[in-house]
Amino acid sequence: MNTHSSFSVSTIATVATPFKQKFAIPRQPNLAKAQGIVTFEDGFNEKTMLKGIENYSHLWLLFIFHQNIDRGWKNTVKAPRLGGNATMGVLASRSTHRPNGIGMSVVENKGLIHTEGATQLVVEGVDLVDGTPIVDIKPYISYADSVPNAFDKLDEINPIPNRDVLFSSNLELALREIEAKHNGFSSLVTSVLAQDPRPAYKQHLDNDEKTYRVTLYDIDVGFVIKNAAVWVTELVQLG
């Protein structure tokens, strides 16, 4: 007999972010100043639902890993922090392949935008792919959610990479034009690529001639790893 209860959950909003694909999205929130614009669905687009939200500097977004949900889940998952081959229990991980596909991210509350008939919420520090469905939003309450003596042994063993990021000198003009359209673009690229988004088994390589590509907003960014630094070699406006 199946004794599991099931509950239905509705998408209350979706979040627009600069990340057009999963590759290179930071592993957790607040590792890059990436902005998210939360747009509420019909039935949840009520200003009253957000009354008082300005009292909180940070918010929890609860969302669905919608791009992975149809790939199911397993008891154990590969742990990128352990080099990509060792496994951990899914419930001992922040993997995207989870029983109910639910994710949670703390982000900075940058305020509301009111337009005709709609209210949008601006947040910063997202680790979410563009279009991620949001199922709940709650204030981050530091007295309860911040634990001063918490430990994370995996982070001690294998901290997130922090490589230097350099732009090829021929990109100066392109960068200036992109910056005029997407304010903070260079610092977004820098913080995203400093974390070395290559697969875990490649991250020890200080020279890697392969050109990797990531789309941020509508810009295709090409980069290589040379002498331990990330070199941005191409910036191409898409479409």
Q: Contact positions toward ligand SAM, by CB under 6 A?
A: 22, 25, 27-29, 65-68, 94, 96, 103-105, 127-129, 132
Q: Which is nearer to ligand SAM, 91 or 104 (CB)?
A: 104
Task: Select 134 or 167, whichever has its Cβ closest to ligand SAM.
Answer: 134
φ/ψ of residue 207, rounded to 5? -135, 125
Rounded CA gap, 108 and 110, in Å? Answer: 6
Q: Which is nearer to ligand SAM, 129 or 167 (CB)?
A: 129
Closest distance of CB 96 from ligand SAM, Å: 4
CB of 22 to ligand SAM, least distance (A): 4
Strands 219-226, 229-237: pairing is antiparallel
| CB of 94 vs ligand SAM, minimal distance in Å | 4
- Rounded to 5°, angle at Cα 231 from 226 and 237: 150
Q: Which is nearer to ligand SAM, 65 or 167 (CB)?
A: 65
Q: With the C-alpha atoms ordered 91, 94, 100, 102, is the resulting torsion angle positive or negative?
A: positive
Closer to ligand SAM at the Cβ: 70 or 156?
70
Contact 233, 211 (CB under 8 A): yes
Q: Smallest distance from the beta carbon of 70 to ligand SAM, in angstroms?
A: 11
Q: What angle is formed at CA 121 by the lines to CA 120 and CA 125, rounded to 5 degrees?
A: 140
Q: Exposed (0-12), middle (13-18) or buried (19+): which is 132, by Cβ within 10 Å?
A: buried
CB of 164 to ligand SAM, least distance (A): 21
Q: Of 123, 238, 224, nearest to 167 (Cα)?
A: 224
